[in-house]
Structure 1
Amino acid sequence: MAAAYPAHGAQAAQAGRSRHLGTDRHRRPCRDCRSRCGPRAASRGFAVRASTGVFERCRLMHRAAEQLRERAPGVAANLTREQGKPRVMPPVIVCANADLDKAVRLMAGSKRRSAGQVCVSPKRFLVQEEVIALFLSGFAAAMQAALQGNGQEDGVQLGPLANDRRVAALETLVADAVEQGARPATGGKRIGNVGNFFPATVLAEVPLSARIMHEEPFGPLAIVNRFSMLEEAIAEANRLPYRLASYAFTRSVRTMQRLGLEIDSGMTTINHLGLALFGGAQPRDLLEPEDDPADAGRGPGCWAACGTG
C-alpha cells in the first residue's frame, strides 16, 4: 500500500546558522572583534528539527562534539551537550474554561497530520481535572474515527509511518506505558501486518516513569494526563529540555497572558493553530553576553499567538 504522506527524513533536518560563516564568500563582521573572521572561527552550536532517525545521526554529532571539547576546548566551548536527544514533545494545555469542542477538533486534526510524523505534532496533553473526562472521550472518539489507509484514496485521514522501524518503536513505547499503568483510550495495537500502519492511539494516566513521557514517538500517539493547578501544567510543559512548540486552550485572557509568558517554548499558540516562526528553546549558555538574561531559554521565534475567536 502506498504511503499516504511523504516521509519526513533527513531532508527535514535544518542546521542552525553558526556564529561565524567560514567561507570567503559569505564572511560577516564578528560581534566580538568587529572584523572579518576566517574559516577557523568557532561555532556557536547547532540545532536540528527532524525525525527520530535523524536524531540518531545527531548522536554521532554529539560524540564528535565531545571529542572536540577534549582536544580543542577553546573552539568547542559553546557546543551544548544534549542537542542530539529526541525529546521534542510539544505539550497541549487544556484549561477547564476552554472551548472543548474546538480543542478536540483542532488537536485531533493536527495529531493526524502526516500520521503524527511532524516535529510540531501535539503529544503531551495536559487537561484540567474538571474536564478531562469530557476531553478524553471526545478526543479519543475523533482519533478513532479517522479512516486509515492509502493516502491517494478519498476520505483517508491517516496514512502509514515512514518505515517499519517506527511501527516497532511505537509498539514498544505503548507496551512499556501500559505495563506501568497507562490506560489505552483507543488504539495501541498494530492493524494487520501489511504496510507500516499504526492506529491512532491515545493513552491516559501515563506515569512519568514511562518511556513515552521522555521519548519522541513520532507517530499517531498522544498522551492525555490531568492537572489540578495551572502551575503543575506549566511545570510539566517546561520539563523537557527541547521545546519547539506548545499549544493551549482557555477562555481567560489572564490565563492566556500567563501561558504566553511562562511556557518556555519556541512557539506558543493559544486557542488556534497559529505557529509561524521556527525557533526552539535554547540553553542559557548559548546567550550572547549582551542578551537580556530574562530571555534565557527562549529561541528567536518565541512568541505567543492568541486566537480568541
Structure 2
Amino acid sequence: MGCIPSKVCRLGITPHIANQKVTQVIIRNPKLRWPIPDEVHSVVGQTLEKIERRSKYLLLRFSTGTLLLHLGMSGSVRILEEHVPAAKHDHFEMLFDNDKMLRLNDPRRFGAVLWFPEHHDLQGLLTKLGPEPLTEDFTYGHLFNKAGNRKVPVKTFLMDNHVVVGVGNIYANEALFIASIHPATLVNSISEEKFNELTDIIKQVLAAAIEQGGTTLKDFTQADGKPGYFAQKLFVYGRAGEKCDGCQTILEEIRQSNRSSVFCPSCQVQVIPKKVVNKKPKKTTKSAK
C-alpha cells in the first residue's frame, strides 16, 4: 500500500479510531526500517486525538507526543476487530476501547513505527520533505527550479520526496501519460512551461484518486486492507501489453529504480538530448631550440 495517497489512508482509518482510547500496544516484530522503540507503549491509556499525514507518513497525535507510521513500499494498515488472529508479516498492533484494532502489515519491512515525545521531529524525517502536491506550496516553477541541470529521469524525479511528496508510482505513471512525457526523459530537457503543465496534471490526478477512493472507508476493515479505488480506470499503470486508449498503440513497460513504468511509445516520445562532441585540442609542436 506504499504507493497509495496517504490522505486516502488517513480518511479510511480516522472514523474507526479517532477519539478512542488505546488499551494495548503489541509489537510482534520490532525490526522494521528502524527498530520500533519501546516508548510506543506510552500511548496506552491515552486518547488518539487526531490523525494527520505528511507525505507517506501517518501522524497519530496524542497529548504527549506523536506516533508516526510509515508504510514503506509494501506496508498496509487495517482496522480490524481485536479478536482477529495475527497473520504473517503483522508486525505492530494498537488496540482501542471500542474493540477495534489498528494493524500494520509489512512483508518487506521497509515501513516504520516511531514515537516523537512532545511532537518534536527528533529524526528530522519531515523537515526535508518537498511540498504537498495539493497545497498552495506546490506552485508553478517549483518542479523546473528543482530540476535545474540534473540528469535524472523525470519519473524518478517525481517520486523523490525531497522534490514533491505523495506522487507514488501509480500516479507518476498516469500523470506522465496525460502530460505526454516519456518516463525516461531527463528533467534538464523539459521546459518550464511543460513542467507547469505537469504540475496541474499531478494535482488533478491525485485529487481524482482521493475523490474516488477516499469515501471507501469499509475497505480499511477488510482482511487485505486494499482500498477500493484500485478498481478505478487507469490509463497506463498495470496495462503493459494492452492498447493505448488514445492511439491504440501497444503500451510498453520499462523498469526504473526497481519500479514499473508503463507508457505509450507513440503518445510519450522520449526526448533524447543531443550529444556534445568534444573536439580534441590540437597538438602543439615544440619549438626548436
Q: Which is higher, the Rg of structure 1 or of structure 2?
A: 2
Tell me whether the two structures share a fold, i.e. TM-score over 0.5: no
Quickly name the TM-score band, shorter chain normalised: under 0.3
As a proportion of its length, which structure holds more strand? 2
As a proportion of its length, which structure holds more helix? 1
